[in-house]
Amino acid sequence: MFLTYLRRELAGRRRQTLIVAIGMALAIALVMIVNALSGGVRDAQASVLESVYGVGTDITVTQAPTGPGEGGPGGGRFEFGAEDGETDDAEGSTTVSDSRLTTGMGTATFDDTALDTALSTEGVADAAAALSLSNTTFSGELPDFSQLQGGGGAPGEAGAEAPPTGGADGAGGSAFDVDSFTVLGIDPAASALGPLSSAAVTEGRGLEAADAGADVALLDSAYATTAELAVGDTIDVGGTTMEIVGLVTADTADASTGANVYLPLDTAQALAGLEGQVSTVYVQAASSTDITAVQASLEEALPEATVNTQEDLASSVSGSLSSASTLVSSLGLWLSVAVLAAAFLIAVLFTVSGVTRRTREFGTLKAIGWSNRRVVGQVAGESLVQGLIGGALGIVIGLVGIGAITLIQPTLSGSAGSVQAFGGGEAPAAAAEAADRMGLTGDGGPFAAATTTSDIVLTAPVTVSVVLVAVGLAVLGGLVAGAIGGWRASRLRPAEALRSVA
Amino acid sequence: MSAPSTTSITLPTPADPATPKGTAMYTLDKVGKTYRQSSRIVTALKDVSLTIPAGQMVAIQGPTGGGKSTLLQMLGALDRPTSGDVRLGDDVLSKLPDRKLAKLRAKEIGFVFQGFNLIPTLTAQENVETALEPQGVPAEERRRRASDALAQVGLAERAGHVPSELSGGQQQRVAIARALVKEPDVLLADEPTGNLDEQTRDEIMDLLEGLWRDRGLTLVIVTHDSAVAKRAERRLRIAGGSVQEI
Ligand SMILES: Nc1ncnc2c1ncn2[C@@H]1O[C@H](COP(=O)(O)OP(=O)(O)O)[C@@H](O)[C@H]1O
Ligand SMILES: [Mg+2]
């Protein structure tokens, strides 16, 4: 009887059933899509972070630079003196070459005893240290400026005035190569944690314990392609020639690894003149539930250091990925809450108005002996089934929406701020200025290789939890409407049956 | 036909041993009912004392607003009096909790309304079955008893129709079948012919009177139609909340 009555009611009042179900369906679909998208954004953020911090890193320990420009020795400023090049009077130009290995801007180094401190902290499963550096090589030929003074033009415009002789192109012009790449010194023995844990060696070999102190390097395969370098070639890092022993590729298809060049930690420390110094300690907690506790212990043990969890790090991911994250988490959340509230309201209003309209019907049922419980159950049952129809419809619409997103494959780019050579500040400005001064067109060519930006196709994964959320909301909506409608029905007096017909 | 125990619906039911014909079915003692409408207090019944013997057919007449429906609510255990006692057999209705009253209505009392009050989305058959629902009658038996009741009111072929597909007289027949399928002691009808034309009215009254005779029901009919009231054994007039014998 319960089911017959329920079926007849829902079928007999089809329009109301449909309105309520569609309202619920749209809300549930939206929640599903937002839910799936935020899962996708989280995955994307995780993969950007992974490319920088590696797999399994729960916490990073860094230190804030003490002040602008004090990030490390050299600060990345280009200074050319006569001693940097040699003047070839016959050619009428000066050849300059400068290669510097410095800490990146915004990176401070600290004593590597922090690694031992981290390893001995309770709840820490593993830890590894790395030194993040930036190598900038500036090489080329300058025309003999003294020759140009007579022309009265700026050096870069010299060619337009009285054509001078000399210079690389023989017309008084300049030819420069500004090559900048990021360098990461890593413990060659510890590959399970840290930046390379998410990367695979695609050519040659990885770093091994025996490489400690050796002049060997691994290259990010994307950078190797750009720089036209291969295994067996050499690369100049901080004025020292390194043998390229392997290429690494990030696990995530579209992402690049955290740095362009990887060196054994002590080699990097020696080259940069930073013995015993590191810039990041990667920490893995024994259990994911310990992370907050470990973070607190580390902050206590290393009062100078900045201790970040993955969650903190996620906020350091910038680019369109970060905008998407904000969009999904704020707008998406509020939109789904608003639409959901509207759908629930519609369901409640329709149910309540339905109960009011059926006052005489429920009064009659009570008059012929139906218990309150039975009447309330009928109202609640109808609402619940209406909600479930909406839920089923919503899952279909939601899956179609998620499918559409998957088909469109929106691409987001994200970069994580901590291992960049040109993270902002003085160095890029100085470099750009220098490039300008030398008449280089600033398409960012030489600098592009130095940024750690990943393009990531946004996915909207349909997880069990996404579907469970939808079903849960459908049930909840049905129950809320049913509870309110049922409460109204329970208050109807059986005497309503005798109310005179309108 | 089916087993003898279930064919009883077509036979005159022997009077309930607990309420043999002539003993009091209803005893009302100084029953008062007031309604509170914001600040105004409306007195619908004033010190009504009344005995209705089992098996009696009573007509209640009176002007609109006189208290007819209110009296019927007291008899039907739909509401409690503000003062005084209403007894149905041995039960003091005014003292029973809601749950007990619902059980009593489910078993002992049949209702017929002026507006038929059928569930619009249910078929005639299903409407009749709703009366057996609260007693937990198994589906198979419920179906059979509802069909039998419909056959008795002459609507066997209309069992699958919803109310909107039936005429007023047919709808009232379904309502009568719904009231009687549970084989109650009492049948209460509030203006059962108020919405019907004269010919249909007479048909419905013939049906009710026949059922009353066959089953030894106690039948209370509220009506302002004298033609209807004339058929009753006893006529009461209620005006301003007070009852008089006519
Ligand atoms: N639920 C109620 N609330 C307030 N007043 C009511 C209610 N039911 C009935 N009344 C009042 O009680 C009086 C008797 O009503 P009723 O028994 O319905 O009269 P009748 O059925 O004879 O027309 C009327 O004045 C009516 O307005
Ligand atoms: Mg009335």
pLDDT tens-place string over residues A76-89: 444 444 444 444 44
pLDDT at A33 over 90: no
What are the backbone dihedrals phi and psi of residue B71, each rounded to the nearest 5 degrees, phi first?
-60, -40
Tokens of B146: 């509802």
pLDDT for res A175: 67
User: Does the Cβ of B94 fall within 6 Å of ligand 1?
Assistant: no
Give which of A364, A370, A490 to mutate to test B binding, by max B Cβ within 10 Å.
A364
Phi-psi region of B223 (alpha: psi -120 to 50; beta: other; left: phi over 0): beta
| Pick from B106, B117, B126: CB nearest A497 | B117
Confirm whether A208 is domain-assigned. no
Q: Which of B102, B142, B195 sits opposite A366 (nearest CB)?
A: B102
Chain A contact for B102, CB < 8 A?
Answer: yes
CB nearest B69 (choices: A367, A374, A498):
A498
Q: Is B103 on the interface with A (CB under 8 A)?
A: yes
* pTM score of the predicted model: 0.66
Residue A159 has pLDDT above 70, yes or no: no
The answer, yes or no, to whether residue A436 has pLDDT greater than 50, is: no
For chain A, give the mean pLDDT. 76
d(CA A423, CA B184): 89
Q: How far is the CA of B61 from the centre of ligand 1 (A)?
A: 15
Residue B17 to residues B4, B9, B180, B185, Cα–Cα distance (Å)? 19, 17, 19, 11
Count of CB pairs separated by less than 8 Å, A with B:
95
ipTM: 0.91
Instruction: Beginning with the edge strand found earlier in the chain, give each strand of the sheet holding B40-53 in spatial order.
Output: B40-53, B24-37, B83-88, B91-92
CA distance B207 to A378: 33
B57 pLDDT above the threshold of 70? yes
> Has residue A250 been placed in a domain?
no
- Interface check A5 vs B, CB under 8 A: yes
- Hey, what domains does chain B have and what are their CATH numbers? 13-245 (3.40.50.300)
Structure tokens at B159: 């069992």
- Ligand 2 centroid to Cα of residue B184, in Å, is 23
Asked if B84 and B29 touch (Cβ cutoff 8 Å), the reply is yes
**Do B132 and A365 touch, CB atoms closer than 8 A?**
no
Interface check A82 vs B, CB under 8 A: no
With an 8 Å Cβ cutoff, is A430 touching chain B?
A: no
Helix A333-357, helix A14-53: angle, nearest 10: 160
Do the beta carbons of residue A351 and residue A379 sit within 8 Å? yes
The C-alpha of A356 sits at a distance from chain B's nearest C-alpha, in angstroms, of 15
Provide the token pair at A343.
Answer: 């759908």
Q: How confident is the model at residue B22, as a pLDDT?
A: 65
DSSP A450: T
Report how far residue A249's alpha carbon sits from residue A223's, in angstroms, rounded to the nearest whole number: 10
Indicate the residue type of A39.
G
The alpha-carbon gap from A483 to the nearest alpha carbon of chain B, in Å, equals: 20
A327-336, A389-398, B132-141: least confident range: A327-336
* Residue A441 CB coordination number (10 Å): 8
Evaluate if residue A333 carries a pLDDT over 90: no
Q: Which helix (H) or strand (E) holds A138?
A: strand A124-143
Per the structure, the complete domain to which residue A383 belongs is given by: 2-42+321-411+460-499
Q: Which residue has the CA at smallest separation from atom 17 of ligand 1?
A: B67
Query: What distance in Å separates the CA atoms of residue A134 and residue A419, rounded to the nearest whole number?
Result: 9
Helix runs in B37-157, H state only: 68-75, 98-108, 124-129, 139-152
Is A367 in CB contact (< 8 Å) with chain B? yes
Each residue of A453-500: pLDDT tens digit?
Answer: 667 777 788 888 888 888 898 899 999 999 999 999 999 999 888 876
Give the mutation candidate from B121, B123, B178, B181 for the A interface (greatest A CB count, under 10 A): B121
CA-CA distance, B231 to A172, in Å (whole number)?
Answer: 129
The beta-carbon neighbor of A360 closest among B110, B117, B195 is B117
Cα–Cα distance, A416 to A247 (Å, whole number): 22
Beta strand pairing status for B40-53 and A85-88?
Answer: unpaired
**Does position A339 have pLDDT exceeding 90, yes or no?**
no
Angle CA B225–B229–B230, to nearest 5 = 115
Report the C-alpha dihedral over residues A15, A17, A18, A22, rounded to 10 degrees: 150
Contacts of A3 in chain B (CB under 8 A): none
Q: Is residue A495 part of a domain?
A: yes
Mean pLDDT, rounded, for A335-340: 84
Q: Which amino acid is at B125?
A: Q
Is A388 buried (19+), middle (13-18) or exposed (0-12) by CB count in 10 A?
A: middle
Which range has the worst mean pLDDT, A200-209, A246-255, B91-100, B150-159?
A246-255
Which atom belonging to ligand 1 lies closest to the Cα atom of B241?
14
* A235 in a structural domain: no
Question: In a mutagenesis test of the B interface, which of A9, A17, A359, A368 is the best target, namely the one with the most B β-carbons within 10 Å?
Answer: A368
Q: How far is the CA of A106 from the centre of ligand 2 (A)?
A: 87
> What total number of domains does chain A contain?
1
Mean pLDDT is lowest, of A431-435, B40-44, B187-191, for A431-435
**Lowest-confidence segment of A158-167, B50-59, B188-197 by average pLDDT:** A158-167
Residue A390 placed within a domain: yes
Q: Is B131 on the interface with A (CB under 8 A)?
A: yes
Nearest 10 degrees: Cα torsion B53, B57, B58, B59: 180
pLDDT higher than 70, residue A9? yes
Q: Token pair for residue A204?
A: 């040659």
Average pLDDT over residues A379-399: 92
Does residue B131 carry a pLDDT above 80?
yes
Mutate to test the pocket of ligand 1, among B34, B35, B78, B190 (most ligand atoms within 8 A of CB): B35
Sheet holding B186-190, edge to edge: B109-112, B186-190, B218-222, B57-61, B234-239, B242-245
